[in-house]
């Protein structure tokens, strides 16, 4: 692997890392804890699996569609995408290097045997339940409920330990979805997308592919052709989803690719917070993960999407690991809607991921908050796109990249203000920290402004006025970052601290990091 972008060769014999003076020791320790030798989710679950024939062809697409008993329109959509994919070229612009992927070497469908969908949690094989338990994701509602309604429970601890509904995706299928009935009472639809295709075909058809079209990019088109499962969420008008929703993705089988598709719709005035977690066993081979996530927020709706991505990163020599090529996009379709992305990226050998917001509705808000830590030979090229189309749309980007070992960490972002985006506003801050002298940190921001009344600030303020505002807020004892949040988005938040406990283990550790001593 060419981890320094072909500039200079690493000295292979040198293992000692000298850390520059001024870098917080806690940060170095936090990054160290994330090294692959400390990867705790790397075990394999031994369970009988059913595979699609290896490789990719029209018949693979038909096989997956048939497995799921899909309607004709969906099969056609998949086949169109597959045919288009054949004509497309894999993108090469990201600052990542990896050997050419042999798309015929993967299984595009792998499911635990007899697992069309387990009717009740009792039917889920013990091996799978154990797997999730081991990862700290309890699927049995009873256990979850016990945790919440235990005798010693006080109101305060109940607040600290909110209930979470989980959709567990094991390789290509969703094996369990908890709290479905309770959510249904609130009108919230939370189920796997394969089920939603049957139960709510009109909703799925209305929104699927409208944010990330089948033609969007190489990996999204591949996903469209072969997506196996994923989560579907619909929150009806005016409903605040009563609990956190989450999906836990687990890749288990060898030589498989995981291609999940998530679709979340928040109808007018709705609110939903959704989390996803990802892990995979340690293997010497590279596995492919090409997901698509589509979010739609209508008038006054808000979607909060958090990710703790901890796919197997490969060992310290760069052997194995997940190729994480993901297309995530949120469409703020309605006025005053809001979509916020939070990501804690610690895993994957290669990350290629740009969760984006299309700010279409007037006064809509987009946020991107990211911490990416790379170790060993990991390469991450991640960032966001904020497309301002509507009037008075606002966005905020905070990205912190920490590179250690022989890794490369790139922030790549686009802020685009279109002609009709009157009074749009963006603030971007991206900090990078290098731990040791064998890693790299890169920043590639694109800023396109087509509005005179837009205010765009990338680690700098445009006018004296903003400096004065900032000073005013800061002298009230509010930290700079929060002060910027106040001024740009009008409120303070710290997404990471809001992550539910189950997902917050890595995130909490990362909260200790400080970007003191950053290079740029």
Partner 1 sequence: MSTALKDLIRNPTIAELELVARFAALKADARRERLFEAFAQTGLPGRRIEGWRWTDFKAAVTSLDALKAAPVRDPLAQAGVATLRFTPAGYTAPATLPAGLKLLAKDDVQAMGGAEEAPLGALAAALSGGKTPGTLLVDVSAGAPVHLHMVFEGPGAINSARIVFLLRPGAELHVSESHLGGAALSTALVEFTLNKGARLHRTVYQIGGAGEAQAVTAIIEQDAGAESVLTTLAFGAKVARLETRLVHRETGSKATINAAYLAGAGLQADITTHVRHGAPSCVTRQLTKGAVLDGGRGVFQGKFHVPRTSGQQTDASMQHNALLLEEGAEVFAKPELEILADDVQCAHGNTSGALDAAQLFYLRQRGIPLTQARAMLTEAFIAQALEGAGDLEDALRAEAQAWLNHAA
We find the least distance from the C-beta atom of residue 384 to partner 1, in angstroms, to be: 15
Q: Would you give the binding string for partner 1 spanning residues 501-520, x where CB under 8 A is met?
A: ------------------xx
User: 355 exposed, middle or buried (CB, 10 Å; 0-12, 13-18, 19+)?
Assistant: buried
For residue 95, the minimal CB distance to partner 1 (Å) is 8
CB of 323 to partner 1, least distance (A): 22
Minimum distance from residue 317 beta carbon to partner 1 (Å): 19
- Report whether 506 contacts 344 (CB < 8 A): yes
**Binder among 59, 104, 157, 463 for partner 1 (CB under 8 A):** 463
Nearer Cβ to partner 1, position 361 or 440? 440
Task: Answer yes or no whether residue 450 interacts with partner 1 by CB under 8 A.
Answer: yes
| 338-345 vs 271-279, strand pairing mode | unpaired
Does residue number 449 form part of the binding site for partner 1 (CB under 8 A)?
yes
Of 458, 486, 511, 514, the residue at the interface with partner 1 (CB under 8 A) is 458
Distance CA 223, CA 258 (A): 9
* Site membership for partner 1, residue 442 (CB under 8 A): yes
8 touches partner 1 by CB under 8 A: yes
CB contact burial 418-433 (16+ within 10 A = b; e otherwise): beebbbbbbbbbbbbb
The packing angle between helices 218-226 and 58-67, to 10°, is 50
Cα within 13 Å of Cα(509), Cβ side: 16
Q: Does 25 sit near partner 1 (CB under 8 A)?
A: no
Question: Quick one: which segment of 59-67, 292-300, 433-441, 491-499 binds partner 1 (CB under 8 A)?
Answer: 433-441
The answer to whether 426 touches 394, Cβ cutoff 8 Å, is: yes
CA nearest neighbour of 424 among 451, 384, 454 = 454
Residues 286 and 319 sit within 8 Å (Cβ to Cβ): no
Taking the complex as a whole, how short is the minimal distance between the CB of residue 361 and partner 1, in angstroms?
Answer: 21
CB of 457 to partner 1, least distance (A): 5
Instruction: Please name the residue ranges forming H helices in 150-286.
Output: 155-160, 180-185, 193-199, 201-207, 218-226
- Residue 446 contacts partner 1 per CB under 8 A: yes
- Judged by CB under 8 A, which of 74, 105, 133, 447 binds partner 1? 447
The token pair that represents 470 in the structure block: 């900032």
Structural contact between residues 510 and 373, judged by C-beta atoms closer than 8 angstroms? yes
Residue 309: CB minimum distance to partner 1, A? 24
Q: Which is nearer to partner 1, 320 or 440 (CB)?
A: 440
> Is-contact 113 46, C-beta < 8 A?
no
Question: At its nearest, how many Å lie between partner 1 and the CB of residue 352?
Answer: 16
32 lies in the site for partner 1, by CB under 8 A: no
* 481: contact with partner 1 by CB under 8 A: no
- The Cα 496–Cα 503 span in angstroms is 10
- Selected range binding partner 1 among 200-208, 306-314, 378-386, 449-457, rule: CB under 8 A: 449-457
User: What are the residues whose beta carbons fall under 8 Å from the beta carbon of 178, sequence distance 6 or more?
Assistant: 121, 139, 141, 144, 165, 166, 167
**Judged by CB, which is closer to partner 1: 313, or 401?**
401
Token look-up 């799978």 returns 128
Between 104 and 462, name the residue whose CB sits nearer to partner 1: 462
- 132 burial (CB, 10 Å; 0-12 / 13-18 / 19+) is buried
Instruction: Give yes or no for residue 434 binding partner 1 (CB under 8 A).
Output: yes
Q: Which is nearer to partner 1, 8 or 102 (CB)?
A: 8
465 touching partner 1, by CB under 8 A: yes
Q: Does 151 bind partner 1 (CB under 8 A)?
A: no
Query: Of 5-13, 80-88, 125-133, 248-256, which part binds partner 1 (CB under 8 A)?
Result: 5-13
By CB under 8 A, residue 88 contacts partner 1: no
Piece of 104-112, 218-226, 377-385, 431-439 that binds partner 1 (CB under 8 A): 431-439
Provide the minimum distance between the beta carbon of 448 and partner 1 in the complex, in angstroms, as a whole number. 5
Is residue 438 at the binding interface for partner 1, with CB under 8 A as the rule? yes
Residue with Cβ nearer partner 1 (5 or 162) = 5
How far apart are the C-alpha atoms of 399 and 329, rounded to whole Å? 17
- For residues 175, 176, 177, 181, the Cα torsion angle rounded to the nearest 10 degrees is 130
CA atoms of 347 and 310, how far apart (whole Å): 4
Give the residue with the Cβ less far from partner 1, 460 or 492. Answer: 460
Tell me if 432 contacts partner 1 by CB under 8 A: yes
How many residues contact partner 1, by CB under 8 A? Answer: 42
Binding piece for partner 1, criterion CB under 8 A, among 49-57, 195-203, 366-374, 441-449: 441-449
Q: Using CB under 8 A, which of 110, 165, 441, 483 touches partner 1?
A: 441
Phi, psi of 56 (to 5 degrees): -125, 125
How far is residue 214 from each of residues 84, 101, 338, 357, measured CA to CA in Å?
9, 21, 24, 18
What's CA 349's distance to the chain center, in Å? 15
- Residue 21 Cβ vs partner 1, minimum distance, rounded to whole Å: 8
Q: Retrieve residue 337's tokens.
A: 């809607």
Nearest residue to 517 via CA among 434, 396, 425: 434
Residues lying near partner 1 in the complex (CB under 8 A): 4-5, 7-8, 19-20, 93, 432, 434-465, 519-520
């Amino acid at each position: 692997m060419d981890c320094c972008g072909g500039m200079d060769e690493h000295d292979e014999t040198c293992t000692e890392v000298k850390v520059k003076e001024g870098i917080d020791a806690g940060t170095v320790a936090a990054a160290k804890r994330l090294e692959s030798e400390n990867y705790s989710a790397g075990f394999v679950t031994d369970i009988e699996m059913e595979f699609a024939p290896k490789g990719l062809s029209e018949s693979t697409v038909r096989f997956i569609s048939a497995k799921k008993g899909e309607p004709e329109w969906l099969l056609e959509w998949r086949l169109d995408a597959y045919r288009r994919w054949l004509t497309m070229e894999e993108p090469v612009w990201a600052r990542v290097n990896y050997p050419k992927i042999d798309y015929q070497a993967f299984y595009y469908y792998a499911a635990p045997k007899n697992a069309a969908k387990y009717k009740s949690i009792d039917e889920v094989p013990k091996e799978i339940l154990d797997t999730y338990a081991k990862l700290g994701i309890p699927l049995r509602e009873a256990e979850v409920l016990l945790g919440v309604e235990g005798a010693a429970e006080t109101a305060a601890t109940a607040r600290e330990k909110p209930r979470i509904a989980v959709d567990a995706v094991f390789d290509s299928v969703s094996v369990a979805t908890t709290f479905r009935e309770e959510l249904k009472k609130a009108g919230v639809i939370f189920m796997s997308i394969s089920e939603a295709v049957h139960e709510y075909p009109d909703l799925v058809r209305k929104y699927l592919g409208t944010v990330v079209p089948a033609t969007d990019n190489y990996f999204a088109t591949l996903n469209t052709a072969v997506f196996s499962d994923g989560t579907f969420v619909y929150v009806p008008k005016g409903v605040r989803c009563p609990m956190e929703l989450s999906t836990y993705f687990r890749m288990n089988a060898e030589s498989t690719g995981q291609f999940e598709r998530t679709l979340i719709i928040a109808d007018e005035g709705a609110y939903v917070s959704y989390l996803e977690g990802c892990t995979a066993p340690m293997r010497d081979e590279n596995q492919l993960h090409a997901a698509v996530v589509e979010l739609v927020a209508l008038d006054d709706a808000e979607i909060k999407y958090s990710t703790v991505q901890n796919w197997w990163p490969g060992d310290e020599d760069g052997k194995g690991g997940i190729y994480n090529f993901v297309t995530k996009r949120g469409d703020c379709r309605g006025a005053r809607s809001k979509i916020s992305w939070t990501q804690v990226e610690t895993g994957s050998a290669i990350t290629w991921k740009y969760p984006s917001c299309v700010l279409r509705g007037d006064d809509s808000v987009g946020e991107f908050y990211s911490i990416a830590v790379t170790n060993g030979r990991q390469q991450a090229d991640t960032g966001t796109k904020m497309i301002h189309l509507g009037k008075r749309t606002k966005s905020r980007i905070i990205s912190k990249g920490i590179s250690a070992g022989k890794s490369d960490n790139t922030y790549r972002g686009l802020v685009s203000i279109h002609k009709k985006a009157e009074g749009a506003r963006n603030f971007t801050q991206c900090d990078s920290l290098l731990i040791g002298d064998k890693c790299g940190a890169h920043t590639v921001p694109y800023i396109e402004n087509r509005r005179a009344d837009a205010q765009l600030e990338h680690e700098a303020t445009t006018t004296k006025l903003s400096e004065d505002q900032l000073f005013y807020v800061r002298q009230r004892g509010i930290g700079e970052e929060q002060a910027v949040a106040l001024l740009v988005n009008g409120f303070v938040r710290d997404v990471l601290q809001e992550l539910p406990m189950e997902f917050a283990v890595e995130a909490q550790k990362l909260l200790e990091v400080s970007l003191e001593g950053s290079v740029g």
